[in-house]
């Protein structure tokens, strides 16, 4: 297949491109790192005819989203619109990287039917992107797979994320974190990539969303303890500073992806953490 990948130089995109090439697909990388502004349709439309678009490009750092929401909404929405326009032009399939979009869970585990509720500008921009997917199905019969990954981790992840930050502190000999309580569903990068690859074989028409997680949650304290054990001289402490409106637990119901994508996460957290060290 001829496949366009936006965000192809990112943490997830770069590894997805490797797997797609291994599978024999022809890849067109659409990325700011290669000089393509995805918010500029005149640049995007130069892409040759394609069969599928993986749209991973986005601004993602939540604290920055609060500082400059206009930039987040502009980049994330217009890039999604332009990627969908490519699909409309070529009658291609769309695979969209969304996010955790459920807000504070009303029940656990969270399935795809759980009410959505953005809790920051980044999540809001992702939900608006999902609405664009639905509109392009309604108006132009463009099918979309929406991937809603929970907390991705793995080697090469940017240092602003929790697990790389804990590892950095552990290497320095002292882990000091704010709140030990929040529990999250962590999913290893290889398992996320396998979910995206499985979407290529999903032929159902319409717009279908999939939770991608491990189906289990671990607290910040548990994660820190697992990592600290690998560094015998490392100390571990918590400031017990609590963020307002903190979501204390998220767990993905992944039964839909298991059934319809024939996908299963294979990497246990302990093994995945060791691969990050």
Average pLDDT on 227-252 reads 93
Residue 244's pLDDT band, with cuts at 50, 70 and 90, is confident
pLDDT of residue 40: 98
Read off the pLDDT of residues 81-131 as tens digits, 9 standing for 90 and up. Answer: 999 999 999 999 999 999 999 999 999 999 999 999 998 999 999 999 999
Q: What is the pLDDT of residue 243?
A: 85
Q: Where are the alpha helices (DSSP H) in the chain?
A: 11-22, 41-44, 62-67, 69-90, 121-140, 162-172, 189-199, 220-228, 255-260, 269-276
The per-residue pLDDT for range 184-201, each reduced to its tens digit, is: 999 999 999 999 999 999
pLDDT number for residue 13: 98
Give backbone dihedrals phi and psi of 66, rounded to 5 degrees, phi first: -75, -30
pLDDT value at residue 183: 98
Q: What is the mean pLDDT of residues 270-277?
A: 97
List, as own/partner pairs, every contact residues 43-47 make where C-beta atoms lie below 8 angstroms and the sequence separation is at least 24, other chains included. Answer: 44/82, 44/83, 44/85, 44/86, 45/85, 45/86, 45/89, 47/4, 47/86
Average pLDDT of the residues of the chain:
97
pTM score of the predicted model: 0.96
Q: Output 252 or 243, whichever has higher pLDDT.
A: 252
Segment 165-184 mean pLDDT: 97
Q: Which domains does the chain have, with CATH numbers?
A: 2-152+188-212 (3.40.50.720), 154-183+216-250+267-276 (3.90.25.10)
Lowest average pLDDT, out of 43-47, 72-76, 172-176, 240-244, goes to 240-244
pLDDT at 21 over 90: yes
For the cut 90, the answer to whether the pLDDT of residue 168 exceeds it is: yes
């Amino acid at each position: 297949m001829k496949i366009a990948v936006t965000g192809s130089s990112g943490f997830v995109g770069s590894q997805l491109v490797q797997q797609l090439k291994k599978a024999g697909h022809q890849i067109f990388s659409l990325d700011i790192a290669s000089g393509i502004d995805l918010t500029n349709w005149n640049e995007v439309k130069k892409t040759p005819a394609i069969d599928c678009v993986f749209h991973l490009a986005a601004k993602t750092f939540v604290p920055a989203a609060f500082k400059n929401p206009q930039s987040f909404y502009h980049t994330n929405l217009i890039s999604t619109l332009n990627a969908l326009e490519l699909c409309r032009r070529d009658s291609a399939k769309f695979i969209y990287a969304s996010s955790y979009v459920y807000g504070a869970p009303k029940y656990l585990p969270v399935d795809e039917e759980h009410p959505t509720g953005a809790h920051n500008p980044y999540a809001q921009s992702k939900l608006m992107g999902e609405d664009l997917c639905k509109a392009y199905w309604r108006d132009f019969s463009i099918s979309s797979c929406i991937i809603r990954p929970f907390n991705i981790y793995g080697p090469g992840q940017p240092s602003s994320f929790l697990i790389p930050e804990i590892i950095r502190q552990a290497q320095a000999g002292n882990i000091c974190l704010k709140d030990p309580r929040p529990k999250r569903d962590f999913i290893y990068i290889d398992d996320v990539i396998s979910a995206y690859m499985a979407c290529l074989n999903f032929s159902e028409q319409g717009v279908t969303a999939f939770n991608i997680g491990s189906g289990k949650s671990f607290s910040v304290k548990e994660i820190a303890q697992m990592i600290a054990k690998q560094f015998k001289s490392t100390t571990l402490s918590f400031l017990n500073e609590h963020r307002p409106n903190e979501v204390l637990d998220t767990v993905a119901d992944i039964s839909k992806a298991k059934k319809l994508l024939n996908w299963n996460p294979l990497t246990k957290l302990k093994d995945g953490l060791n691969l990050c060290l």
